[in-house]
Amino acid sequence: MKKVRAIIAMLATALVFGGGMAVISTPAEAEGSNSALVMTIAEVDLEGPAISDIVVTLQNTSGKAMTKVQVKVTGPINWSLYPDTHTLAALPPGATTTVTSEIHVPNSPASSVTRGFTATASYAGGDGVKTSFVERNQLTGTISGSLAELFNNVGTTTLGTTAQGNYDGEKNSFSRERLAEQGVTPGATIKAAGTEFTWPAAEAGKPDNVTGGGQTFKLTGQGSKLAFLGAGVANGASGETTVHYTDGSSSKGTFGFPNWGFQEPTAHGATLVKTTMGRNTPTGFMNQDVAYRLFTNTIAIDPAKTVSMVTLPSNANIHIFGVAFVPVAVVPPATTAPAAAIPE
């Protein structure tokens, strides 16, 4: 059956051009968490070409029946979807039901792309005349298994591998010898930003950091923040990161790094972590009187959710050596002073 649907989808999507990322925004009138109509969108099969289902689950969490329930479903721009609207005469108190739309999924992209799906429902009864909204964002295409798989820049070199370095686009790089003096060696643990980073274990002269280009990689974990270790080139090394959660939702945050050699160490809200004097150039170690630095910066994430993937900023001036979760701070329980003894 899957093959038959795939063949039908190939014909149905012949005129679909790309199906880029849909821009999703919560309707102004949506009640969100104030609505007693709780909705979820199941994971959508994005392996195309195929006809896939968008299954929306609706639950009436109120003590009264909901009437005139209408659900509007949307998918990526230019993707054919039917039906896009569902009408329910009533939804009894405490009841759960589903509505299903079919969507034509085109060929899978070569690189990772975000696909967005939404459902907006209006109703009467229940907890009033309200609107409920839910969204699901999924990634499709090639997704790297780790940050290290994305490494595309040689940022550190030894005296014997200076010719391979090109951290700043001018063939210069951090000195591994000077970094080692600061405890920054392949595989070393670097404590900063309330967490621990693992320094890349790449061989000298091999890629050991990634420049921002909107790449997506898998990263699983939880925390209060997501921390980045790196340094910028030029003065505009900042951009927006998207954090994807296992429930299909996502959040965004902007971070940046100061220039590795010249800029205020607190630029973009960063924190200085390591300082080395001098750098490697194509002709050897030079600039011994100039400080070349590493920084950390963080973005907030939802501590109640589990992260599944991260999409980096689209800014090649940002160089990232490591990413780590900042644990949620544990507040110790309040202690009560013992009651004073009552004299007899």
Strand partners, 138: 115
* 98 or 110, greater pLDDT: 98
Task: Answer whether residue 160 shows pLDDT above 50.
Answer: yes
* Tens digits of residue pLDDT in 138-151: 888 888 999 999 99
Over pLDDT 90: what percentage of the chain? Answer: 77
The full set of domains in the chain, from first to last, is 14-139 (2.60.40.10), 148-326 (no CATH)
pLDDT digits (tens, 9 = 90+) for 207-265: 999 999 989 999 999 999 999 999 999 889 999 999 999 988 889 999 999 999 999 99
Q: Tokens 């274990």 sit at which residue?
A: 201
Report, as an integer, the average pLDDT of 168-172: 96
Tell me if the bond preceding 76 is cis, omega within 30° of 0: no
**pLDDT at residue 166 greater than cutoff 50:** yes
As a whole number of angstroms, the distance between CA 342 and CA 58 comes to 60
> Distance between alpha carbon 231 and the CA centroid of its chain, in Å?
20
Angle, CA 119 vertex, CA 117 and CA 123 arms, to 5°: 175
Which segment of 16-20, 121-125, 236-240 scores lowest on mean pLDDT? 16-20
Task: Flag whether pLDDT at 20 surpasses 50.
Answer: no
CB 117 within 8 A of CB 56: no
Convert the pLDDT of each residue in 286-297 to its tens digit: 999 999 999 999
Give me 46's structure tokens: 């994005």
> What are 128's two structure tokens?
């009033």
CB 217 within 8 A of CB 145: yes
Q: Percent of the chain beyond pLDDT 70?
A: 87
Q: In this predicted model, what pLDDT tens digit does every residue of 90-105 receive, in sequence order?
A: 999 999 999 999 999 9
